[in-house]
Structure 1
Amino acid sequence: MEALELARWQFGITTVYHFILVPLTIGLAPLVALMQTFWWCTGKDHWLKLTNFFGKILLINFALGVATGIVQEFQFGMNWSEYSRFVGDIFGAPLAIEALAAFFLESTFLGLWLFGKERLSKGLHLACIWMVAIGVNLSAYWIIAANSWMQHPVGAVYNAETGRAELDGIGGFLEVITNNTAIAAFGHAVAAAFLVAGTLVAGVCGWWIVRTVRGAGSPASGLAHEGDQAEAEARHVWRPGAMVGLITVVISGVAVILTGHHQGQLMYEQQPMKMASAEAVCDGGESVPLSILAIGDLSNDCENAIHLFELPGVTSFMGTNSFAGEESYLPGVNDVQAEYEELYGEGVDYRPNLVVTYWSFRLMIGLGVFSAALAVWGLWALRGGRVTGSRWFSRLCLVSLPMPFLASSFGWIFTEMGRQPWVVHPNPDNPVDQVWLRTADGVSTVVTSTTVLTSLVTFTLLYAALGVVWFWLVRRYVREGIDPAPAPEPDPADDDQPLSFAY
């Protein structure tokens, strides 16, 4: 494999792993802040217990997210130095602001929230977690603004002397941060993040409701709850947390659908090849159906794809708000290929990998069904103050937990792979401004394939180890429950004592 292929694999592996952690932080921070607000307003002890319980998961996730995200910055200047040389004047601005303003904001106040629990007043301590919630979402916007510029470059001019894209003054910077692509992507990403966090909260609380009702108790404490005690914990502690998660899933699920529909229409305007590839539509036309399942050779010659199940006119509606007629016309892969050859040069395959694009789009949508099923069953089972001991509901809670994480990751894969072969996609409104860059032209000219392969193997193994640590920590503290067994007093003479994380 050449350095280009290896560099793409490395960036893909590290990015997808990092992005698994990102949505949970973005969505869970506001939910933890909301739980603490309920405690501040009502004084009810169970809200404080839920705040501490999910706050512990937030802290673990944040720490691992930071550790895995730093690597991204280095790859820009090493494996992708030609890309950084071309776009650094624009791309560096939102990334710098994200680090100096948003990341410092969230990390500083997270530290105050963690270590100031017994030192700050209730109001100041609550304000700290809300600042964290604001900070993580601001951080997300600056990152998405930088990525959206790659999807739809605005506010830049091409300098023929230096061969670089440069920011077009203050006005150009304002265009970058108000890019309609960034606004649409941010809304969709945040909605998906709340879906991830809501599913986690609902799934964990739902699992504990069943466990407590059935008298299992906390594995950490070794205590079994029976009768009224089990009923009280399930009804008055875990049920309120589950309702927060379930309501979040419903609201964010609707938001995901609406923002996704808007973003899809925008993609048809700005990146028609991506959306045509998502449906494996070879030739454009009116009333384009939505492909539910396609088999056959989904190579870049999509003529060999056989669509087994289709919904008439649905893809046209997704792109144009019209099921039929002239206004429902959408271009196909072959149409866009011919257009790009005329605009940007012949002899280049402008089609992305159809297998990845087609299936990642479907997995992004299909895996969200589990969160929807959890919301429907959970709201019904817990209606009117009820609790449930159904094992099947408990199993659904566990099965649903990873699904929105995977759906978000497949959505990110679709977004990035569907843009290929561009690393900076041309703006269709300015087809001759030369502010575009192919992925093959963005890789470093001096980094060898051996160097990239070595770092690829190293990072993959390191990230796999971090993934095991993350899963083990989250699983451990989820299973401890709200009231884990108190830790014994440390023995100063004993150096071999297990470490434990408490908040």
Structure 2
Amino acid sequence: MVDLLSTEILARIQFALTIMFHYLFPPLSIGLGLILVFTEGMYLKTKNPIYEIITKFWVKIFAVNFAMGVASGLVMEFQFGTNWASYSRFVGDIFGSALAAEGIFAFFLESGFLAILVFGWDRVSPKMHFFSTVMVCLGSMFSAVWIIIANAWMQTPAGYHLIGEGLQTKAVIDDFWAMVFNPSSMRMLVHAIIGCWLMGAFFVMSICAWYILQNRHLEVAKKSFKIALILGFVGSLLAATSGHFLAERVAETQPAKMAAMEGHFHTGTGGAPLYLFGIPNSEKETVEYGIKIPGGLSFLLHGNFSTPVIGLDRFKPEDRPPIGITFQTYHIMISLGMYMLFITSLSMLLLKFNKLYTNKWLMKIYTISVLAPIIANQAGWIATEVGRQPWIVYGLMRTPDGLSKSVKAEEILISIILFTIIYLLLLFVWIFVINNKIKHGPDNEIKEKLGINKL
């Protein structure tokens, strides 16, 4: 029986809560940043003032979200020193270089040009402002690059050697570029960035669909929706493709994680089934109520229906990740990815025949479909991190060994309660401010630019 009040469980819960809250905002900033590049690029190309109005409106949303991302991220990093001191000592040399690179190449780039993006419309030339928008977009993506590289190293360590003994053991970089281009980093990076694009696209489409249903700001809403829809459609295709390549790499480097994700208990001598749905039962070592494609997992990983796939039976019970949560979150991510691909494909077809914006049911669906990429991003992260267990650094350090030796369970519990209260207040403020900006819309700018009441 798992002790839910143990130091390890509470420390993991706290980190999970803080990073899941933080991860609501950077993906949205990355997705919105790319959309800003598209809308402002259209303004420079066409000189149509409506695209300037569109860009200015989404810049306001972007700025609020960026501020929340910074505020929530700072608190998260302090936990490495408070709850995970042994882990921090072990990976300090590795993470120090990656996080320093994030600060130098990403954060300063993004924040340095953010002031021009927000306040520089009438102070710099249009081309310089567009350049600033591009730099903010790239800065947000570069920030993700170094964070994901650090996380990928935990999944597939490379370019290091160990020094010291016992509690003083730590990993030291041998080859910086081998650390950067570790076996999983680039595939994880591509898949994560595409997930961010989807979050930005569906966020914009959700707001625009609401405007269309309310018969407000129609020109702004339709043009914004079209740009976001194209990004969402392309992103959905790329997410499916990148997810497939990432799964292949997981099967090569972390076979226990892949077996848990797919509920594959027994290696066998033939093809492994692909479960679409089901409930894994670790005691019976089977997937109950499962719907499966015989040989489907073998086909996806090896290109045929008969090649065996390593199952959980090849690993000691203490080396197996938690099966239930890994399996379900992985399948939630995939199901939502297929949903996003379906709805954007349908919308692209309706757009071609000029029937998209008159379909009220579809617009209503889009107003809540922003939840799809949010949940998919969170579920994918949970599957990745829980599937790595019982290792905090795969094959090198077990999760309990990374804990701080002096921290107590009751101290962590108190901080969890306090953090939860603070984060709920921050979330309320974010929703309140964003909601006000959405309700207000770009009316004033439209009147000023075009001299009409609404579009």
Contact 1:351 1:421 in 2 (8 A): yes
| Secondary structure of 2:319 counterpart | coil
Alpha-carbon offset, residue 246 of structure 1: 1.0
Contact 1:60 1:470 in 2 (8 A): yes
Alpha-carbon offset, residue 375 of structure 1: 1.3
Contact 1:272 1:336 in 2 (8 A): no
Give 2:120's aligned residue. 116
Alpha-carbon offset, residue 479 of structure 1: 2.4
Out of 276, 297, 310, the position equivalent to 1:331 is: 310
Alpha-carbon offset, residue 164 of structure 1: 2.5
Summarize the Cα distance change of 1:41–1:310 in structure 2 as closer, same or farther, 3 Å threshold: same
Q: Report the TM-score when normalising by structure 2.
A: 0.92
Give 1:478's aligned residue. 438
Give 1:24's aligned residue. 28
Distance 1:108 1:53 in 2: 21
Out of 73, 83, 88, the position equivalent to 2:92 is: 88
Out of 5, 19, 28, the position equivalent to 2:9 is: 5
Alpha-carbon offset, residue 157 of structure 1: 0.5
Summarize the Cα distance change of 1:485–1:98 in structure 2 as closer, same or farther, 3 Å threshold: closer
Distance 2:252 2:59 in 1: 41
Summarize the Cα distance change of 1:403–1:379 in structure 2 as closer, same or farther, 3 Å threshold: same
For 1:210, give the aligned amino acid. L
Matches within 5 A, 1:38-187: 38-161=42-165, 163-169=168-174, 172-187=175-190
Contact 1:87 1:164 in 2 (8 A): no
Give 1:465's aligned residue. 425
Runs of 4+ deviating beyond 4 Å: 384-387, 484-487
Out of 297, 307, 318, the position equivalent to 1:315 is: 297
Give 1:343's aligned residue. none
Identity of aligned residues (%): 33
Q: Which moved more, 1:389-398 or 1:450-459?
A: 389-398
Contact 1:274 1:352 in 2 (8 A): yes
Summarize the Cα distance change of 1:259–1:301 in structure 2 as closer, same or farther, 3 Å threshold: same
Summarize the Cα distance change of 1:291–1:302 in structure 2 as closer, same or farther, 3 Å threshold: farther
Contact 2:148 2:189 in 1 (8 A): yes
1:447 aligns with 2:407: yes
For 2:311, give the aligned amino acid. G
1:250 aligns with 2:224: no
Contact 2:240 2:337 in 1 (8 A): no
Distance 1:208 1:321 in 2: 46
For 2:308, give the aligned amino acid. Y
Out of 250, 269, 274, the position equivalent to 1:290 is: 274
Give 2:200's aligned residue. 197
Distance 2:371 2:113 in 1: 29
Distance 1:282 1:385 in 2: 50
| Secondary structure of 2:266 counterpart | coil
1:367 aligns with 2:336: yes
For 1:334, give the aligned amino acid. D
Unmatched segments (≥5 aa) in structure 1? 218-232, 338-347, 427-435, 488-503
Q: Which moved more, 1:465-474 or 1:32-41?
A: 465-474
| Secondary structure of 1:349 counterpart | helix
Contact 1:374 1:400 in 2 (8 A): no
Summarize the Cα distance change of 1:477–1:378 in structure 2 as closer, same or farther, 3 Å threshold: farther
For 1:275, give the aligned amino acid. M
Summarize the Cα distance change of 1:369–1:68 in structure 2 as closer, same or farther, 3 Å threshold: same
Structure whose alpha-carbon radius of gyration is higher: 1
Alpha-carbon offset, residue 371 of structure 1: 2.4
Give 1:496's aligned residue. none
Alpha-carbon offset, residue 385 of structure 1: 5.0
Give 2:263's aligned residue. 280
Distance 2:379 2:283 in 1: 23
Contact 1:276 1:282 in 2 (8 A): yes
Distance 1:59 1:82 in 2: 36
Alpha-carbon offset, residue 259 of structure 1: 0.7
Alpha-carbon offset, residue 136 of structure 1: 0.8
Distance 1:391 1:196 in 2: 22
Distance 1:454 1:466 in 2: 19
Distance 2:160 2:251 in 1: 22
For 1:86, give the aligned amino acid. F
CA displacement 1:75-102 (0-9 Å, x = unmatched): 1111000001111111211011112221
Unmatched segments (≥5 aa) in structure 2? 448-455
Alpha-carbon offset, residue 394 of structure 1: 2.1
